[in-house]
Chains A and B, each alone.
Chain A
Amino acid sequence: MTSPRPTAEVVDVDAESHTELDREDQRSQEAGSQPASEYASPRIISPRTASTPLSSDAALEAKPGPSVRLERLRAFYGESEQVKGIDLEFRANEVTAIIGPSGCGKSTMVRCINRMHEEIPGARAQGRVLLEDVDVYGPSVDVVAVRRAVGMVFQKPNPFPTMSIFDNVAAGPRLSAGRRGDVRATVEAALRDAGLWEEVADRLDAPGAGLSGGQQQRLCIARSLAVDPEVILMDEPCSALDPIATLKIEELIDQLKTRVTIVIVTHNMQQAARVADRTAFMLDGRLVEVGPTQDIFTNPSDPRTEEYVTGKFG
């Protein structure tokens, strides 16, 4: 087992182990100018290259994403333990829904996957989060690179208020060091993939905050797609949206899973049933049950799961 190690701080990149990883990294072989400070990671199992902008016609072609495995994951806010040792695998190119009552640690667990949890003062995590075979809490891992590979969509749509629609989507490539290329093509491809291109193509310079809630959330999805992530974490992405906007996001999730691994936290059990291949049920910081969505909703093996999905509590 892993020894507990301090995780609440940004770990310096160990140059040596970096080179080692880089050797296997196709991306850095193809783009020789790639700075060595780039995190080389599960991209080793992904044949696609980051330097290729997502061209619109080939946008949603199937690409293998990585699997994500949690091993004995524990998460704390100060002294209080919110996630109490979870072992769980999110399979590649599948949508896994996390359900459970409020405060059961769903969001906290998901935020551990791209190490956003540690952004909260006093928060820390223990255990391992394996992106294919690399522990994102490993000592030589650059947290910035983890977040580039694992995108996140938040509960409330939050486009950058000072930026236009275009700049919002371009923010990822521009903000992350050393990855430029054709930003315009990347933006268009990301907006197309998020199903927003037709609606905003003629007003890319308008403020992103001027869009409707559903459009803003798709803008946020486009923004996270623009850095070409391998995993996308969605923390109740539809809870602030109306049913029609929700439906659009759900369709989008269904299309995106051909090239990314998706983890979605939801309070809406119908939504879990509609979009997820597998569903995990959490209670009080622990994983109660995980399985094919069909089974969780129709034939759960744990009585607590049955009580929850049939509305007896929660």
Chain B
Amino acid sequence: MSAANGQAGLKSEDRLARFALSPARRRRDRLARGSVLAGTAIAVLPLLVIVYYLLRKGLGAWSVSFFTTDPTGNTFFGSSGIGGIKSAILGTIEIVALASAIAVPLGVGVAVWLVEYGRVSWLARTVRFFVDVLTGVPSIVFGLFVYIVLIVGTGSTYAGYKGSVALALLMLPIVIRSAEVILLLVPSALRESALALGAPRWRVIARVVLPTALPGMLTGVLLAVARAAGETAPLLFTAAYTMKTGFGLGGFMNSLPVQIYKDVTSPTTSVEHRAWGAALTLVAMILLLNTIARLIARRSRLA
């Protein structure tokens, strides 16, 4: 303002005034920046609180025997007798590993078909629609489905692998959708230049498209794995709850989420503490898996 009203001779000052930042704009800028920052803080806060409580309550439950013993079911003699979460850790690892072994190749295969072959065809659009529907299905419905088909339907009982099937169904749409998005990001120029070399399409996909998409796909797969590893509902009436360590996926199998569920609902304080320890263990396992996978992806990209 003052610069604009200055003497006519001060031309450089006039020019400066033309580009001066007005106070109103400065205020609006501050307001916008502030609200975005506040939103970020609000979003991050619960996360920090969760991590804080997990560490504070969970670390106290950790000990060597916590990881090496099974829950005893004995809650009458304080924290020493209740046992650890060995069966739950092993169960979660085995069930989720089998579920991933089913869902990841299948899901990536569907995504490859959708992006490379089906494209905009009627069938591809239909598949996409059903995958979207599947994404929205509550996890307990997958458990119910497996319960009806594999347990009631076969007249048999709970088993670890049945839990894996339920989790695989849950993972499938997540894997398909994330892999599809990543495959669509692979520049079509790469496909074209590989095809122009006289390479059959399947080789182009296997040697050029998939390696390029690998790091991104890994993120989607890990998301699905983390989601599956934390699910309780589909396991409750497919893999069941058991205290004993079961190595075979054919028998009853414990898992971390189910163990947490059982422990939290227990009236005994020491058992409740075990739930915090188990929760921290679950988070730590997923974090570890994430880190390892990212290291592998980084290495394979350079190679």
Binding site for B on A (CB under 8 A): 114, 116, 119, 121-122, 144-149, 151-152, 154, 156, 158, 160-162, 171-172, 174-177, 207, 220, 223-224, 227
Contact = CB atoms under 8 A, between A and B. Distances in A.
A223 B195 CA distance: 12
Nearest to A160: B208
B: interface residue count bin: 20 to 34
Given A119-B191, A119-B195, A122-B120, 15 more contacts: A144-B198, A147-B198, A148-B198, A151-B196, A154-B196, A158-B187, A158-B190, A161-B212, A171-B199, A172-B197, A175-B204, A176-B199, A176-B200, A220-B193, A227-B198
28 contacts: A114-B196, A116-B196, A119-B195, A121-B119, A121-B120, A122-B120, A147-B198, A148-B197, A151-B196, A154-B192, A156-B189, A158-B187, A158-B190, A158-B193, A160-B193, A162-B211, A162-B214, A162-B301, A171-B197, A172-B197, A172-B198, A175-B194, A175-B198, A175-B199, A176-B200, A177-B200, A224-B197, A227-B197
A108 to B, nearest CB: 13
B203 interface: yes
Contacts of B133: none
B196 A171 contact: no
B44 interface: no
Given A121-B119, A174-B207, A175-B204, A161 B190 contact: yes
B147 to A, nearest CB: 42
A148 B194 CA distance: 10
A74 to B, nearest CB: 21
Contacts of A175: 194, 197-200, 203-204, 207-208
Interface of B: 119-120, 187, 189-200, 203-204, 207-208, 211-212, 214, 301-302
Name which of B198, B199, B207, B214 has the most chain A CB atoms within 10 A of its CB.
B198
Contacts of A154: 189, 192-193, 196
A121 B207 CA distance: 22
Name which of B119, B208, B214 has the most chain A CB atoms within 10 A of its CB.
B208
Contacts of A160: 190, 193-194, 208, 212
Name which of A146, A148, A161, A223 has the most chain B CB atoms within 10 A of its CB.
A161
B194 A171 contact: yes
Given A121-B120, A160-B190, A161-B190, A147 B203 contact: no
Q: A-B pairs with the 8 shortest C-beta distances?
A: A148-B198, A175-B199, A152-B196, A172-B197, A147-B198, A162-B211, A158-B189, A176-B198
Name which of B203, B301, B302 has the most chain A CB atoms within 10 A of its CB.
B203
